[in-house]
Amino acid sequence: MVVAVSEKIHWADVFAAKVDPEISHRIATGITPSGPIHIGNMREVVTGDLVYKGMRDRGLDVELIYIADDFDPLRKVYPFLPQDYAQYIGRPLCDIPCPCGECENYAEHFLAPFLAALDVMDVHPHVIRASREYRGGSYTREISRVIEKREEIKEILERVSHRALPDTWSPFYPICEDCRRISNAEILAFDPEAHKVRYRCECGHIGEVNYAKGEGKLVWRVDWPMRWAHFGVTVEPFGKDHAAAGGSYDTGKEIAEAIFQYRAPFPVMYEWISLKGRGAMASSTGVAVTINAMLEIVPPDVLRYLIARTKPEKAIDFDPGMGLLSLIDEFDRVAQAGESREYEFSSITGIESVIPFRHMVTVVQIARDEKGVLEILERSGYAIRNREGVLAAAHRARIWIERYAPDFVKFEVQETLPSSALEPDANERYALGVLAARYMALDDWSAERLHNAVYEVGKETNVDPKQIFTAVYLSILGQKRGPRLGWFLEALGRDFVVGRLMEAVNAGTE
Ligand SMILES: [Zn+2]
Ligand SMILES: [Zn+2]
């Protein structure tokens, strides 16, 4: 890694420099796969990956893990679920049927596309499923300890989080044999030898579970420090909700030390990603853009860049409309500059986008088909080396226009002279005629020349260039504004542009 003296040190390198270089490290990330995993969730894992790469580049011994909390209960019927999912509330996600009927279970339905997206984004954690750990008996020793020490844990939780817990409070939730819910049950008896817990469920059922077989789980505030100790987690990114005073990191830290004699991981707190104008992203409220939806539009490098360019403690206001175009432009600039740490952290393919996305947005709206796209690009002076790559970029631009583009970006080249173009006054008509003649004579059909010609003609004819711009857009699009004129006319080609401008001039005189 080469860091110029004048260059600011990247935040991931700053974190990497703060951890103990003498020990082996494990960075843990985790998400509950209760719904479509959105780019707000992505921040958790990509933040972990950036710190991981920062540490790796310093020569540290480090591993990245991702724990899928597929043993968590379904909390409610989310907007994207059928109403009959009400019957599954409280059941572990891994025991609920998947909404599409094709996947192993509910959790896998949302995990599969997320894990595929991580792979595309060059994030390759060791994946752990909470359900398999619990049911495979990995946590048995820790659960015994937690139940033995439950009074001590209760005292820590009450003192650090300033909330009173009921006398019947238990750090362990059995899965009730009768209602099959992860139940806030009362523990009646505990047999650490046999790993059994006798409980009275909220539903009234009295029964016995074996926690060595995963017939129950620890409450979140205890589960978290337990897994730090179990997996030897030394660094962990987490959302700001856990970082609040008396929050689960604070209680987890004390529980880890007192119960497991383990030091809490180095914290990497991150802020939310919100959707511009709509608030914090959450799949439970439907305010979210999924990672997979974004990967249909931008290369994965750009999504990594979104996280890499912002310090974790700063909120990100994500705008999939014009904001996304600015993000892509910014990434292209960083890519062209090369060699920055931000670029190293974001770049996956190393392939620069040859054709600016903004330009592609214009091209696909002019072209009727793929052949047209390639013709226009060649006319605009792009040498098409990677035909497939260019057409994929064109496809992404089309999806963006359909789903996220504001109306002012959209246009349609009219096949015949639009009726709204038949209004120019005599001066404008004269200027349009001069412009058409100028265009016909140009030896260099380039965006810059085409654009500048409008100003030259404006000066010569004493017509405000703004009026000329408007008249050109009106005669081609039937609307007063359009894409940047030079590029636009260059893409349309000389025959079409000159022909149409002459039509507009003549139509006015008829
Ligand atoms: Zn499914
Ligand atoms: Zn029950």
178 Cα–ligand 1 center, Å: 26
User: In the chain, pLDDT over 70 holds for what percent of residues?
Assistant: 96
- Tokens describing residue 109: 């339905």
Is 303 in contact with 121 (CB distance < 8 Å)?
yes
Query: What pLDDT shows up at residue 207?
Result: 96
Rounded to a whole number of angstroms, the distance between the first and last alpha carbons of the chain is 70
**b/e burial code for range 200-238 (CB count within 10 A of at least 16 → b):** bbeeeeebebbbbebbbbbbebbbbbbbbbbbbbbbbbb
User: Dihedral through CA 495, CA 500, CA 501, CA 502, nearest 10?
Assistant: 90
Helix (H, G, I), strand (E, B) or coil at 406: coil
CA distances from 470 to 421, 431, 510 (A): 9, 12, 21
Of 420, 403, 407, residue with least CA distance to 476: 420
pLDDT in tens, 461-489: 999 999 999 999 999 999 999 999 999 99
List, in sequence order, every residue forming a beta bridge with 318; answer none if it has no partner: 275
377 Cα–ligand 1 center, Å: 41
Query: What pLDDT shows up at residue 384?
Result: 86
List, in sequence order, every residue forming a beta bridge with 236; answer none if it has no partner: 267
Using pLDDT thresholds of 50, 70 and 90, give the confidence band for residue 3: very low
pLDDT in tens, 330-388: 999 998 887 899 999 999 976 666 788 998 999 999 998 999 999 999 888 888 888 98
Q: Which residues, in sequence order, are CB contacts of 231 under 8 Å at separation 6+?
A: 26, 28, 65, 67, 128
185 Cα–ligand 2 center, Å: 8
422 Cα–ligand 2 center, Å: 76
199 Cα–ligand 2 center, Å: 10
pLDDT in tens, 402-444: 999 999 999 999 999 998 766 668 888 999 999 999 999 999 9
Of 266, 307, 295, 281, residue with least CA distance to 46: 307
pLDDT in tens, 246-269: 999 999 999 999 999 999 999 999
26 Cα–ligand 2 center, Å: 37
Q: Which residue has the higher pLDDT, 492 or 383?
A: 492
Which H or E run includes 155?
helix 150-161
- Statement: residue 136 has pLDDT above 80: yes
Average pLDDT over residues 15-34: 96
User: In the chain, pLDDT over 90 holds for what percent of residues?
Assistant: 82
pTM equals 0.90
* 187 vs 170: CA distance, rounded Å: 7
72 Cα–ligand 2 center, Å: 16
239 Cα–ligand 1 center, Å: 28
92 Cα–ligand 2 center, Å: 13
Is 28 in contact with 228 (CB distance < 8 Å)?
yes
Query: What pLDDT shows up at residue 375?
Result: 92
Which H or E run includes 224?
helix 220-231
Q: DSSP string covering 22-53, please?
A: TS-EEEEEEE--SS--BHHHHHHHHHHHHHHH
- Statement: residue 4 has pLDDT above 70: no
175 Cα–ligand 2 center, Å: 8
pLDDT in tens, 308-319: 999 999 999 999
User: Dihedral through CA 480, CA 486, CA 490, CA 495, nearest 10?
Assistant: 60
Which H or E run includes 457?
helix 447-461
219 Cα–ligand 2 center, Å: 17
Query: What pLDDT shows up at residue 353?
Result: 66
List, in sequence order, every residue forming a beta bridge with 247; answer none if it has no partner: none
Query: What pLDDT shows up at residue 352?
Result: 61
Enumerate residues with CB within 5 Å of ligand 2 (an ion).
176, 178-179, 201, 203, 205
80 Cα–ligand 1 center, Å: 13
pLDDT in tens, 67-84: 999 999 999 999 999 999
230 Cα–ligand 2 center, Å: 29
- Tokens describing residue 412: 């349609």
Q: Which ligand is nearest to the CA of 96?
A: 1
Helix (H, G, I), strand (E, B) or coil at 348: coil
Q: Which residue has the higher pLDDT, 422 or 167?
A: 167
- Is beta strand 62-68 parallel, antiparallel or unpaired with respect to 126-129? parallel
* 197 vs 176: CA distance, rounded Å: 11
* 73 vs 90: CA distance, rounded Å: 5
99 Cα–ligand 1 center, Å: 5
Query: What pLDDT shows up at residue 237?
Result: 98
Report the amino acid identity of residue 162. H
Q: Which ligand is nearest to the CA of 174?
A: 2
Using pLDDT thresholds of 50, 70 and 90, give the confidence band for residue 6: very low
Phi-psi region of 237 (alpha: psi -120 to 50; beta: other; left: phi over 0): beta
* 143 vs 151: CA distance, rounded Å: 14
Cα dihedral sign for 277, 280, 285, 291? positive
Average pLDDT, the chain: 93
Of 206, 267, 205, residue with least CA distance to 235: 267
108 Cα–ligand 1 center, Å: 7
Of 500, 494, 459, 510, residue with least CA distance to 477: 500
Helix (H, G, I), strand (E, B) or coil at 318: strand
101 Cα–ligand 1 center, Å: 5
Query: What pLDDT shows up at residue 281?
Result: 85
98 Cα–ligand 1 center, Å: 5
- Statement: residue 496 has pLDDT above 90: yes
Query: What pLDDT shows up at residue 5?
Result: 45
Average pLDDT over residues 115-136: 97
444 Cα–ligand 2 center, Å: 80
